[in-house]
Amino acid sequence: MSVTESLEPKEVFKYFEEISAIPRPSFHEEKISEYLVNFAKEHNFEHYTDDLHNVIMIKEASEGYEDVPPIILQGHMDMVCEKDPGVEKDMEKEGLDLYIDGDFLKAKGTTLGGDDGVAIAYALSLLTDETLKHPRLEFVCTVSEEVGMEGATGIDVSMLKGKKLLNIDSEGEGEVLTSCAGGGTAHIALPVKRERDQQSGAVVELKLSNLAGGHSGMEIDKGHGNATLLMARFLVHAESSVRLRLIEFKGGSKDNAIPREAYAKIILPYKKEVEILRNRAEHFISHIKAEYGAADPDVTFELSVKDESEWDKDARELTRESTDKVLAFLSALPNGVIRMSDVLPGMTETSLNLGITNLDKQNLNLGFSVRSSKGSAYRELITRITYLSEYFGAKVDVKGEYPAWEYAEVSPLRDTAVKVYKEMFGKDLKVVSVHAGVECGILSSKIPGLSAIAMGPDIFDIHTPKERLSISSTKRTYEFVRNIIEAK
């Protein structure tokens, strides 16, 4: 039985449920791409795909709209796959478990993929709506948006005729995006040394969890704690009382998501130091709850001692020097909001987020999502990270860079959206900028003279298992998009 069959718009939620059954993490979009290609074939739409699995569909204008300029509909097919602790779903192989909670559509224990499943559901519904009066519609659906916009960077758009682009990859009803930050991902590898120095003492596992997390662009100014850096902070705090060595250290699962949990395994030279560590942990979590009480009210810290029978006798801890270097490096790296905008009050200009951390046999590996609406500020922050990393002996590799989408003084599509919204709802549409990557910047560089806007229904807590899509907002926003398309 369909979960969404009672919801309106019926076709929108039907398609959303269909794509939710298809696993689509970044870099694993083959199945959703195949679904879209088959959809295009079934409806006899002109369509294109490429080696990256991007998909383009084209539907010619309806009668009376042949001379109206084409409109490009655009979104991405990948989603951030986060899940609650203890959820065993393999999101590379299994679809989502949708359910309705009042006005919200959610997924059990995982992200919902409203970012950007909404774009696909809207586009497919619009393309198959025979009552819609429309110019030529060109639907562009890209891959790997969440991990550096590689799909938009690599896609060939030479077959497109449109100069108006409606991107459906925003999460706030009643507002339209007209500019965004540029950015990239900095991958850092800090060499470490290991040794097997102790045959006694205590092995302790530490887990910091239940932080709010969130999107590293949209939520970076909300004051949410970064679990990885808070774990490093505790270890630095503990080192003043106990002689710990790192065995394992990891946190986060996506570069563009604020880490909600972090894990460390350490070894202490003496069992008696465990109680000292426990006391330190109690003091630490009390301070963290006092500091982050509003932003992260549910934060928890767990400490467990491994019995000697559970020790991995082949595991080699970091040397004293490497342990100190790792903790010093993590403590020295910048993170969070670097500068707020001087032009747009309340808007973040420049930031970075430590997303993925993993300590392997040879390196501490870090992944930073770096963003800025100013190119010079972005380059300066990359230089700062690189300089500091190289001082510690680490290597830096910057990938997935994308340009900022700059505000256009003249935008016919924006003017149409503002006019239609006023007519529909009797109030002004908010024109805003966003501190997150939007593919409009890349596509604007590929299509000279492009007039672009981005919008979407209300989606809350994206990139977290708390993600929820407003059902009523989905309906209102769909009608808004529909009226924009029909406007001449």
Mean pLDDT of 23-50: 98
Question: What is d(CA 478, CA 440) in angstroms, rounded to the nearest whole number?
Answer: 20
Token pair 């930050």 is at which residue?
181
User: Residue 449: which of 41, 164, 119 has the closest Cα?
Assistant: 164
Token pair 């959206």 is at which residue?
417
Confidence of residue 24 (pLDDT cuts 50, 70, 90): very high
Backbone angles phi, psi at 223, to 5 degrees: 80, 15
- In 3-state terms, what secondary structure has residue 9? coil
Name the token pair of 360: 């392997």
The sign of the torsion formed by the CA atoms of 51, 54, 55, 56 equals negative
Q: Which amino acid is at 461?
A: D
Domain extents in the chain: 10-181+404-486, 184-402
Residue 211's DSSP bridge partners are none
Whether the pTM exceeds 0.75: the reply is no
The sign of the torsion formed by the CA atoms of 189, 190, 191, 196 equals negative
Token pair 């989502």 is at which residue?
96
Q: Which residues are designated catalytic?
A: 78, 145
Confidence of residue 198 (pLDDT cuts 50, 70, 90): low
CB 452 within 8 A of CB 405: yes
- 341-380, pLDDT tens digit by residue? 887 788 899 999 999 999 999 999 999 999 998 889 999 9
DSSP per position, 319-340:
PHHHHHHHHHHHHHS--EEEEE
- The mean pLDDT of the chain is 94
184-402 shares the fold of 10-181+404-486? no
Confidence of residue 39 (pLDDT cuts 50, 70, 90): very high
Residue 370's DSSP bridge partners are 184, 352
CB 342 within 8 A of CB 350: no
Is the pLDDT confidence value at 37 over 70? yes
Is the pLDDT confidence value at 304 over 80? yes
CB 370 within 8 A of CB 400: no
Name the token pair of 306: 């491994």
Spell out the residues 6+ positions from residue 108 whose beta carbon is closer than 8 angstroms to its own.
96, 97, 98, 99
Residue 139's DSSP bridge partners are 57, 73
- 110-133, pLDDT tens digit by residue? 999 999 999 999 999 999 999 999
Classify strands 262-268 and 175-180 as parallel, antiparallel or unpaired. Answer: unpaired
Question: What is d(CA 361, CA 366) in angstroms, rounded to the nearest whole number?
Answer: 14
The sign of the torsion formed by the CA atoms of 146, 446, 480, 3 equals negative
Spell out the residues 6+ positions from residue 387 whose beta carbon is closer than 8 angstroms to its own.
none
Token pair 């747009």 is at which residue?
344
User: Residue 119: which of 161, 174, 74 has the closest Cα?
Assistant: 74
Over 166-223, what HEC string results?
A: EECCCCCCCEEEEEECEEEEEEEEEECCEECCCCCCEEEEEEEECCCCCECCCCCCCC
- pLDDT confidence of residue 345: 80
- 40-92, pLDDT tens digit by residue? 999 999 999 999 999 999 999 999 999 999 999 999 999 999 999 899 999 99
CB 90 within 8 A of CB 69: no
Confidence of residue 402 (pLDDT cuts 50, 70, 90): confident
CB 430 within 8 A of CB 366: no
Ranges of beta strands (E only) in 283-424 are 300-306, 317-318, 336-340, 348-359, 363-372, 395-402
Question: What is d(CA 61, CA 39) in angstroms, rounded to the nearest whole number?
Answer: 19
- Of residues 148 and 23, which shows the higher confidence score? 23
- pLDDT confidence of residue 407: 82
Name the token pair of 74: 């655009």
Asked if the 184-402 domain carries CATH number 3.40.50.2300, the reply is no
Classify domain 10-181+404-486 at the CATH superfamily level: Zn peptidases (3.40.630.10)
- pLDDT confidence of residue 11: 98
Question: What is d(CA 90, CA 87) in angstroms, rounded to the nearest whole number?
Answer: 9
Is the pLDDT confidence value at 314 over 90? no
- pLDDT confidence of residue 199: 66
Angle at 371 between CA 253 and CA 143, to 5 degrees: 55
Rg (CA), the chain: 24
